[in-house]
A and B are shown apart, each in its own frame.
Chain A
Amino acid sequence: MGIRFKNVTHEYPSYSKKTYKAIQGINLNIGTDDEYIALIGHTGSGKSTLAKHMNALIFPTLGEVEIFGNNIKSKRDKNINYNNIRKRVGLVFQFPEYQLFEETVEKDIMFGPMNFKKSEEEAKKLALEAIHLVGLDETYLKRNPFNLSGGEKKRVSIAGILAIDPEILVLDEPTSGLDPEGKQTLMDLFSDIHKKTGKSIIIITHDMDLVYRYFKRVVVMKDGRISFDGTPDELFKSDIIEENHLDLPNTIKVLSYIKDKFNLDINIYQKIAEEAVQEINRVMEYE
Chain B
Amino acid sequence: MNIIEVKNVSFAYNEEKQGLKDVNFSIDKGEWIAILGHNGSGKSTLAKSLVGLLEPQQGEIYIDSVKLTEETAFNLRKKVGIVFQNPDNQFVGVTVKDDIAFGMENLCVPRETMLERIDFFAEKVGMKEYLDKQPSNLSGGQKQRVAIAGILAMRSDILIFDEATSMLDPYTKNDLISYMKLLNKEGFTVIMITHDVNEAILADRIMIMNHGTISAFDKTETILKQKELFIKSHLELPMALKIANEVKNNKIRNSLWEYVLKM
Contacts and interface: CB of A to CB of B under 8 A. Distances in A.
A16 B169 CA distance: 27
B220 interface: no
Contacts of A206: 141, 167-170
Given A179-B38, A258-B256, A147 B133 contact: no
Interface of B: 13-14, 16-17, 37-40, 44, 85-86, 88, 95, 132-134, 137-142, 144-145, 163, 166-172, 195, 197-198, 234-236, 238-240, 242-243, 246-249, 251-252, 255-256, 259
Interface string A205-232: 0101100000000000000000000000
B85 A245 contact: no
16 contacts: A15-B95, A15-B134, A16-B132, A42-B171, A43-B169, A94-B140, A152-B39, A178-B39, A245-B169, A245-B171, A250-B239, A258-B252, A277-B243, A277-B246, A280-B247, A284-B252
List 4 A-B pairs, minimum CB-CB distance, nearest first.
Answer: A43-B141, A151-B39, A149-B40, A247-B170
B240 A247 contact: no
Given A95-B88, A172-B140, A284-B247, 4 more contacts: A43-B141, A150-B44, A176-B167, A284-B249
Counting contact residues on chain A (CB < 8 A from B), the size range is 35 or more
Point out which of A13, A176, A253 has the most chain B C-beta atoms below 10 A from its C-beta.
A176
A273 B227 CA distance: 15
Given A43-B140, A247-B171, A179 B37 contact: yes
Contacts of A14: 132-134, 137
Contacts of B167: 43, 94, 173, 176, 206
B166 to A, nearest CB: 4
Interface string A39-83: 001111001110000000000000000000000000000000000
Contact of A258 (B139, B171, B255): B255
